[in-house]
Amino acid sequence: MTVDVNRGFIRLDEGLIHYRYAGERLDDEALPIYVAHAGPGSSAGYAPLIGALGGSRFVLAPDMLGNGDSASPALDNPDIMYYADSVCRILDALETDQVDYFGSHTGAHIGVELAILRPDRVRKIIFDGIGVFDAVMRKAMLENYAPIMKPDEFGTQFTWAWHFLRDQMMHFPYFMRDPEHRLENDMPTAEFLHIHVTDVLKALTTYHKGYHAVFRHDVEQRLPLVTVPSLFMSSEMDPLHKYLDDSAARIPGAGTRLITKDAGISGQANAILEFFES
């Protein structure tokens, strides 16, 4: 059952934090599910999943600092530990002691540090689409994937954002535009691009901070330090699915789950609930 998705704000030291939520908050053993979105964008892109999970559990899905309608990070070059600390502060503001955590891409990297630094705040964790890049690829991603942007008098940021999002659907990494890196995805619709481009433009001058934190994050060395029960998940349409087994092997006892294209949002939601409720 899918339920309506609502919106709210809380305040941290950095400023207002926007979040989406769904479901009923009950005083029982069913912890809230924390959904940490990927970059670029916000929790808006996860609204269908939030609504699907909200039929069974209470769901919290903030826009991470520097994205969506949330305030910018206080630091020029925040690391993943900073974002993990912000999750704890968000939970404090929402009077929530512990959650089941679902993190996608950037949100997954944040989840790694949250699980290491504050395992008391996370009962179980799902890493959705986490990449284990070698040093050469990490350097290339840091230098090319998320350029620092600002508005200019010619409005080039508008065409840049459109192609930035569109090209991500066609190649991975998107700046390696050759047959070897071509994806098998269909061309996204204009409506899809408009929605996601708008999200990027809203965070034009800060969207890169989360990306750069990810590309500086030595996730290969950090994953073995996770002791929280873990599941590695990925969609077969996600280019990061090729790292599924490699990343899971770094945490003893971690499981894997590949979500097929046909499974859709309902299949993903069912897989998430199955793990969290097992």
Domains of the chain: 6-132+217-276 (3.40.50.1820), 149-204 (no CATH)
> pLDDT tens for residues 199-211?
999 999 999 999 9
Query: How many Cβ atoms are within 10 Å of 22's Cβ, its own excluded?
Result: 24
Q: Is 128 exposed, middle or buried (0-12, 13-18, 19+ CB in 10 A)?
A: buried
pTM: 0.97
pLDDT confidence band for 25 (50 / 70 / 90)? confident
> pLDDT tens for residues 41-98?
999 999 999 999 999 999 999 999 999 999 999 999 999 999 999 999 999 999 999 9
Q: What is the CA radius of gyration of the chain?
A: 18
Chain center to CA of 179: 27
Cβ-Cβ contacts under 8 Å for 41 (sequence gap 6 or more): 67, 68, 196, 199, 200
First to last CA, the chain: 19
Phi/psi of residue 3, nearest 5 degrees = -120, 170
Least Cα distance to 64 among 47, 40, 48 occurs for: 40
